[in-house]
Structure 1
Amino acid sequence: MGAKSKSKTRERATRSVVLFHNANKGHAVKALKTVRGLLESRGVKVTLAESKSAEAALETCDFAIALGGDGTMLHCSRRVLPHSVPLLGVNMGGLGFMSAVDFPGFKKQIERILAGEFRAEPRWMLSVEVRRGTRVVFGPHQALNDCVIRAAEQARAVTLDVDCGGHSVSSYFGDGIVFATPTGSTAYALAVGGPVVMPDVNAFLLAPISPHQLTARPLLVSTEQPLTAELRRRNPYDRPQAFVSVDGQIDHSLKLGEAVYLRRSEKPFTLLVPPERTHFDLLHEKLKWGVR
């Protein structure tokens, strides 16, 4: 997702790294030892993300590495964001859309990575909180991909009133809404009919989920304006139930009288990517974009 600062390569050799891994993936656990050995043999100080010293290390490290898939990247983005630490994804299986390299690729390109040749690409995140009146009851939580508001009951639709910058956008009746960043436009939002948004576009994507309205279509809005979504009764007898999900990892049961507030994160998350790779290359490789 777009940020004001331009992408650039890091200009100095790596001295310290914080290493994350998905402990639920056996091959990621095995790869941890190999990656740590490769780094330490080149004089790089390695701190494991689950260690007590990890938060202090994130204040001074050159970048962090995430061994896993896209879910691991989403989790790690929230950990590194407060420290403004770039994150390099090493895909350990699955789609790995946000990963810079796969595990064999990491071993082949480690010298380039440590020399600072990979490009730092800023991505704005979505800050999400739920309020009841003026009281915050959930969040703020940061989403790299999306915030989803969905009906909690199967085969039941909900009504969501959406405002942008204090102005009414629409009242949506359907299964819910996906609020996505450009980074998340290739995830859930794409599956419900939203467009692919290039990462450097300063916009958020609003994509209704199965709306019962012919005019309810995906919408791009500026990141400069905050968004609000409120659960509403459709009639006096309606008892709607919904939930809020941040990147599919942090959930909240949304109640009547509560509103979801969404805005651009205070600072961008930084993703490390190969300098020669374009976003179109990624679409071709991962999503088979344009394949007939």
Structure 2
Amino acid sequence: MANSSASRTTRRAFGSAFIFRNESKPDSERTLALILSLLKTRGVRTWVEEGRGAGDALRRAEVSIALGGDGTMLRVAREVAPRGIPLLGVNIGNLGFLAGTEASEIRRRLDAALAGRFVVEERWMLSTEIYRGGRRAFGPELALNECVIRCGDQARAITLSTRSGERFVADYFGDGLIVATPTGSTAYSLAASGPIVDPSLDVTLVAPICPHTLTQRPLILPAHLPLTIRLGRRRADEMPRVLVSLDGQTSRELKLGDEVRVRRAETPLRLLVPPGRSFFEVLRRKLKWGQ
């Protein structure tokens, strides 16, 4: 199991690459053609995702490349992390917080990566399961940013009883709850007044969504302890519609009494970033932090 998100520099160039892309982005075709041309002239074997799904070719790739925005990075992270394949993100989206390379830097960054001049940052991920009547009904499924438990199409609060390991934390009453990784601290959790957390830290964030109280605030908990969140109700006639969402891309509906179990995934995402890149510099450039 991953102990932390510590960085390390690697000196090994790669000879094969699997490329994911968001075809809806305007620059997708042009950027893909440029990358394929650059890798071909440098003798790198390549495969390109067709439709949605990597297929068997991903197992033969030494590195993966994602062309798109943060949504593409989140989707691809779930594919490559269990296989231990490093991921290089190329931003052709809007914010591009997770991608370490801008489209204008592709030639320089690929040459540096092929020469082994890049850093592998290990970003730990969440593993989520749903238990119903004591049996697993869903999962485990991965998320890089967060697991969100929230009310569905009803404008009413829900009750979520939460434990960290064997310790009772709180009964949350509000619109829902966010369980986030340090990587996800700059995403939905940030909008729910959660703290910004350095991605190298080994902690889990728990941020209530619109809690109906003046005293419940976001928490930082040890990542090695699993979280158990049980859907309850305050009145016998309450039948809330509640959803569990992972990285805002997959969702499942909960039933009364269901338990959502969230823990640190066994395999982290290996994210390729330029040497010397500072998390705080990214905050300033992408989120205008401190400005």
Pair 212,121 (structure 1): closer, same or farther in 2 beyond 3 Å: same
CA distance in 1, matches of 2:241, 2:281: 41
Is contact 1:3–1:268 with CA below 8 Å preserved after alignment?
no
Instruction: Indicate if the aligned counterparts of 1:21 and 1:29 stay in contact, CA closer than 8 A.
Output: no
1:22 corresponding residue in structure 2: 22
Is the CA contact (8 Å cut-off) linking 1:227 and 1:261 kept in structure 2?
yes
The residue correspondences of 1:122-201 to structure 2 (distance < 5 A) are 122-201=122-201
Verify the 8 A CA contact 1:91 1:101 in the aligned structure 2: yes
Distance in 2 (alpha carbons) for counterparts of 1:29 and 1:202: 38
Contact map agreement 1:193 1:207 (CA 8 A) in 2: yes
Gaps of 5+ in 1: none
Separation of aligned partners in 1, 2:69 and 2:210: 28
Query: Residue 12 of structure 2 aligns to which amino acid in structure 1?
Result: R
Deviation at 1:174, TM superposition (A): 0.5
Cα distance change, pair 5–253 in 1 and its aligned pair in 2 (3 A): closer
**Can you list the C-alpha shifts for 1:155-203, whole angstroms capped at 9, x where unaligned?**
2111111111022100000000111000000000000100001111111
Amino acid in structure 2 at the alignment position of 1:139: G
Query: Which structure 2 residue ranges, 5 or more long, are not aligned?
Result: none
**Alpha carbons 2:160, 2:171 under 8 Å: kept:** yes
Describe how 1:1-292 pairs up with structure 2 within 5 A.
3-4=3-4, 6-50=6-50, 54-291=54-291
Return closer, same or farther for 1:235/1:85 CA change in 2, 3 Å cut-off.
Answer: same
The one-letter code matched in structure 2 to 1:241 is: R
- Segment drifting more, 149-158 vs 94-103: 149-158
Mean Cα deviation higher: 209-218 or 42-51: 42-51
Q: TM-score, normalised by structure 2?
A: 0.95
2:216 counterpart letter in structure 1: A
Q: 2: distance between equivalents of 1:60 and 1:10?
A: 19
Query: How many pairs align?
Result: 290
1:107-145 deviation line (CA, Å, top 9, x unaligned) = 232211211211000011000111102322121110000
The residue type equivalent to 1:17 in the other structure is A
SS in 1 for 2:107: helix
Identity %: 48
Return the alpha-carbon distance in structure 1 between the equivalents of residues 58 and 174 of structure 2: 42
What SS is found at the alignment partner of 1:26? Answer: coil
How far apart are 1:93 and its partner, in Å?
A: 2.4
What is the TM-score when the length of structure 1 is the normalising length?
0.95
Change beyond 3 A, Cα 1:206–1:84: same
1:56-96 Cα shifts (integer Å, max 9, x gaps):
43334221100000000000001101210110100002000
Aligned partners of 2:149 and 2:245 also within 8 Å: yes
State which drifts further: 52-61 or 231-240. 52-61
Tell me the CA shift for residue 23 of structure 1. Answer: 1.8
Paired with 1:270 and 1:253, the residues of 2 have a C-alpha distance of: 31
Checking the alignment, whether the CA contact within 8 Å between 2:18 and 2:48 is kept in structure 1 is yes
